[in-house]
């Protein structure tokens, strides 16, 4: 009988101790801090990235620059034809610095962000340029130039024009929307992210 009372006393003591721990935890536990997501937090997360490059294209098309006077006789002395070929890399994406507070709409469980359409970030040469420069006799003597700078400028212009086709812009824009949505998913966890294009 004594052992039974002792066992009951121990069980009651353990239950009392566990109850005290549970009550203490409920009363004195650390307050839950809910992170509040506002437009400023979204803008900071986006602007920290600057220009978001989402697509890179490489173009390798030859260009020809013809400087003609209109007369075959004069071209023999002063004409010039530059033929060049080189691989040009075009990076496209969106400028996140252009996103303003008006482009961010926060609802209870959804965030809608409007971003600009994709554009060309830069065009750069990848590797050497193969330049062939045919100059008229007097031009070669009086105003000789290797044609490299003009060839590079023309290759850059042609590559940029090729990258600005609707298909390439759409692909870069779609990729940008996915990247922005993924990026904001880390900032605003638990919310649906919708990215629209201006």
pLDDT tens per residue across span 94-103: 999 888 889 8
Rounded to whole angstroms, how far apart are CA atoms 165 and 115? Answer: 19
pTM above 0.95, yes or no: no
Q: Check residue 26 and give its pLDDT.
A: 77
Each domain of the chain, given as residue ranges in start order, spans: 1-33, 35-197
Residue 163 has pLDDT above 90, yes or no: yes
Task: Note the pLDDT of residue 17.
Answer: 78
**CB 69, CB 53: distance < 8 Å:** no
**Given a cut of 90, is residue 167 above it in pLDDT?**
yes
More confident residue, 113 or 189: 113
Kindly report, residue by residue over 22-79, the tens digit of the pLDDT: 877 777 776 655 557 777 888 888 888 889 999 999 999 889 877 777 776 666 666 7
Which DSSP symbol is given to 101? G
pLDDT at 75: 63
Q: What is the mean pLDDT of the chain?
A: 82
Residue 166 pairs with which residues in a beta bridge? none
- Burial tier of 48 (Cβ tally within 10 Å: 0-12, 13-18, 19+): exposed
Q: Which residues pair with 81 in a beta bridge?
A: 66, 134
Q: What is the mean pLDDT of residues 151-157?
A: 91
| Pair 152, 72: CB distance under 8 Å | no
């Amino acid at each position: 009988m004594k052992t039974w009372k002792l066992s009951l006393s121990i069980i009651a003591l353990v239950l009392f101790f566990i109850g005290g721990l549970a009550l203490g935890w409920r009363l004195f536990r650390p307050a839950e801090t809910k992170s509040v997501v506002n437009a400023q937090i979204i803008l900071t997360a986006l602007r920290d990235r600057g220009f978001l490059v989402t697509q890179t294209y490489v173009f390798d098309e030859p260009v020809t620059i013809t400087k003609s006077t209109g007369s075959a006789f004069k071209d023999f002395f002063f004409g010039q034809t530059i033929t060049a070929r080189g691989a040009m890399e075009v990076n496209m994406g969106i400028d996140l610095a252009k996103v303003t507070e008006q482009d961010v709409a926060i609802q209870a469980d959804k965030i809608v962000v409007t971003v600009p359409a994709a554009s060309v970030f830069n065009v750069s040469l990848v590797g050497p340029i193969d330049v062939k420069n045919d100059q008229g006799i007097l031009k070669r003597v009086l105003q000789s130039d290797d044609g490299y700078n003009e060839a590079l400028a023309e290759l850059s212009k042609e590559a940029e024009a090729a990258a600005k086709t609707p298909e390439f812009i759409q692909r870069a824009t779609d990729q940008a929307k996915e990247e922005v949505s993924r990026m904001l998913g880390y900032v605003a966890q638990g919310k649906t992210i919708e990215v629209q294009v201006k």
